[in-house]
Chains A and B, each alone.
Chain A
Amino acid sequence: MPSAVQRVLTALLLVAAVVGLEFSFEHIIPDAAWRQLALLAMVNVIAALSLNIINGMAGQFSIGHAGFLGIGAYTGAIVAGNLHQMLGGGDTPFERSFIVMPVVILSAGLVAAVFGFVVGLPSLRLRGDYLAIVTLGFAEIFRLVIGTADTGGGTEGAINQALASLGGQQGYAGPDGTGVPQYAGPFWIFGAVTVATLVAWRLKFSGWGRTLRALREDEIASAAVGVDPTRYKVTSFVLSAAGAGIAGGLMASLRDGNPTVQPEQFSFATSFDAITMVILGGSGSVSGAVLGGVLVTFTVKMIEQLQGLDSVQALKAVYPSLDLNALRMVIYASILVGLMILRPEGLLGEREIFRRKSRVKVTGAGPAQPVPARTEAEVKAERSEEGQAGGAEAGGAGAEGAGAEGAMAKGALPEGTAIEREEQPLGKDRS
């Protein structure tokens, strides 16, 4: 375990790194399109990390992650747009992002978490695949409600008016329609990715993460141990939704990104991409989600770039009926299928790239002590004696109680028997 000094130093180093990125990003990546892609990849990593909590760690199957991304994006856009206006509009200087972004991140995460709770509570109480159906339905309802709010009787009633003000299919571009202010530069994006990765890592290797693994394996056995399955699943789902909300909020404010939030950004394809990232990297693996997020983002972009190649354009000229967009999906799907054949568990499986070494160690556990046969009467006599002695000393400290001693007695380990304590706390209520 790193010492406190080491931790503080690491934290300072990370802060310095993201501040450095904020000011040197344009020099590191001179091309604006690539800069945008790099930032988008990081947002996707946060989306993948959050989906990994429920799909990977908790073993549930949510296929509506786009819904929570969307809720976060709209919330973030509304908050950022209005806050920006209150602060006087105009430019989006770095100093001011320290007022706007914390509010954006908090509100986007919180609103998505509330929706996550509402969606998750009823569906996770039931066993089976209800979550998949409900999340899919939820994401589609969200997209369609926003997309159609300004049509039909959309201007009647307060709720309808509020929804219609989000611009329907056209999208939301801030309160004055001039675009959502783009406060989320490299500092916020890389900072958020770092924090999200650390949080996901801590979660996975905490007692909480271990409880989730147990639940995933055997729900009945977990319940028999005293775990409340519903509570754990709902908590995971709410956390996952909150993470997606934050990713959405960042996406809406992304520097050099799309200044309009549109419902079509949160279609099933987006949910599917998020699932791909998690599965590709390895379900349950934190480093896998990071890897998957980056790989999927860049692969999609690379295939897009292929379309611009001279040879491809020449091919298109010869065969005008060739649909390059459809072809792109075919290539993307083939890559995925190929990878799944080569690595069905995903690139990493459940493993991590920097797996911390296990400190769990039991050295030379003492042999069981010989058990003298005892009649039940003896045991009872002994127990009632102890009972009179006023204790629940079931261990049997009685002089002749070697039988019980061998079983459950305290502190009677032979010399040299050391059971090293795992650094990580045991049981529940810790993280």
Chain B
Amino acid sequence: MKTAHPTRKPPSTALGAPLLEVHDLAVAYGGIRALKRVSLEVRCGEIVAMIGANGAGKTTTLKTIMRLLPIAAGRISYDGQDLAGVATEEVVARGVSLVPEGRAIFVNLTVRENLELGAWNHKDQRTIQETLEDVVKLFPRLGERMKQEGGTLSGGEQQMLAIGRALMARPAMLLLDEPSLGIAPRLVADIFEAVALVAASGTTILLVEQNTRLALKYSTRAYVLRTGEIAMSGSSKELANNEEIRAAYLGG
């Protein structure tokens, strides 16, 4: 029986059980508290959205999960294990990948090189090659531009590349930071469809998105972050119908 993720340890967490748990997380930049008290959980197989205004702390939350920022207080655990003393590369190795905000791709590297770097934690050439083929299937535009330098791609293509690069690590969990930011509406739809496909193939997703309508459409549950705290949470359907959310984030 062929397996889709032969080189990655699949999460021991059962489908539907909490894969990522963030408990009372606080994070500060110097003296400034960016996160005061954030608790959330993402269950295995879910797409969970995190919405909130500019500066609410969404990016900070994702970066801290990746262990790119120090934890001031609270706890993060992934697949049942505490991430307190864990280095970023180890978080990646355990199966979490981040698609950074603002498509932080390597602009001077070719599309192929960008993707190959995503597979940095993998050694098996065949697996890497197969993953590359999968990513190209998911984003055929990338396949046509393998030799092009990342910086010459359109905004939407760069976002595809950033997602593709994250997928090259064969993550069990994908963290997406505003994939729709500054991208033409038509490509945004393509990207979200691709994200839905990735989720359907068994990858758990935590989606940060300012476009609340899209975020609630594609997610199962959602959290509303407001100045470093979780203001609301619930199923995405409920939140989409919530009066307060409609007024504040969906434009009435």
Using CB atoms and an 8 Å cutoff, list the residues of chain A in contact with chain B: 207, 210-211, 213-214, 217-218, 220-228, 358, 360-362, 365-369, 371, 374, 376, 379-380, 383-384, 387, 389-397, 403-404, 406-411, 413, 417, 419, 421-422, 425-429
Contacts and interface: CB of A to CB of B under 8 A. Distances in A.
8 contacts: A217-B108, A224-B97, A225-B165, A225-B166, A226-B88, A395-B4, A427-B119, A427-B120
A110 to B, nearest CB: 28
Interface stretch (B75-83, B179-187, B200-208): B200-208
B235 to A, nearest CB: 11
Contacts, number: 195
Among B15, B116, B122, B193, find the residue whose CB has the most chain A CB atoms closer than 10 A. B116
Contacts of B97: 224-225
B246 interface: no
Contacts of B125: 421, 425-426
B70 interface: no
A362 B137 CA distance: 12
A393 B117 contact: no
B197 A404 contact: yes
B123 A365 contact: no
B147 interface: yes
A398 B125 CA distance: 26
B119 A393 contact: no
A365 B137 CA distance: 7
Interface of B: 1-5, 10, 14-16, 45, 66, 68, 87-89, 92-93, 97-98, 100, 104-110, 112-113, 116-123, 125, 128-130, 132-134, 136-140, 143-144, 146-147, 165-167, 169, 193-194, 197-203, 220
A405 B143 CA distance: 18
A411 B105 CA distance: 27
A224 B3 contact: no
A210 B123 CA distance: 16
B116 A427 contact: yes
Contacts of B165: 225
A362 B3 CA distance: 24
B117 A210 contact: yes
B224 to A, nearest CB: 21
Contacts of A371: 193, 197
Nearest to B169: A226
A428 B89 CA distance: 12
Contacts of A404: 197, 200-202
B140 A368 contact: yes
Contacts of A426: 116, 119, 122, 125, 128-129
B198 A408 contact: yes
B105 A221 contact: yes
Nearest to A360: B112
Contact of A393 (B2, B107, B109): B2
Nearest to A392: B10
B163 to A, nearest CB: 12
A360 B10 CA distance: 31
Among B108, B110, B144, B167, find the residue whose CB has the most chain A CB atoms closer than 10 A. B108
B68 A220 contact: yes
Contact of A429 (B16, B66, B104, B123): B123
A366 B169 contact: no
Contact of A407 (B45, B108, B198): B198
Nearest to A396: B201
Among B108, B129, B144, B197, find the residue whose CB has the most chain A CB atoms closer than 10 A. B197
B201 A211 contact: no
A365 B197 contact: no
B201 A395 contact: yes
Nearest to A417: B133
A30 B250 CA distance: 84
A360 B118 CA distance: 17
A391 B66 contact: no
Given A221-B100, A427-B119, A406 B197 contact: yes
Nearest to B1: A391
Given A367-B140, A368-B137, A226 B89 contact: yes
Contacts of A397: 2
B109 A365 contact: no
B1 A408 contact: no
Nearest to B44: A383
B121 A427 contact: yes
Contacts of B169: 225-226
A205 to B, nearest CB: 11
Given A380-B15, A404-B197, A224 B68 contact: yes
A407 B120 contact: no
A206 to B, nearest CB: 12
A325 B122 CA distance: 57
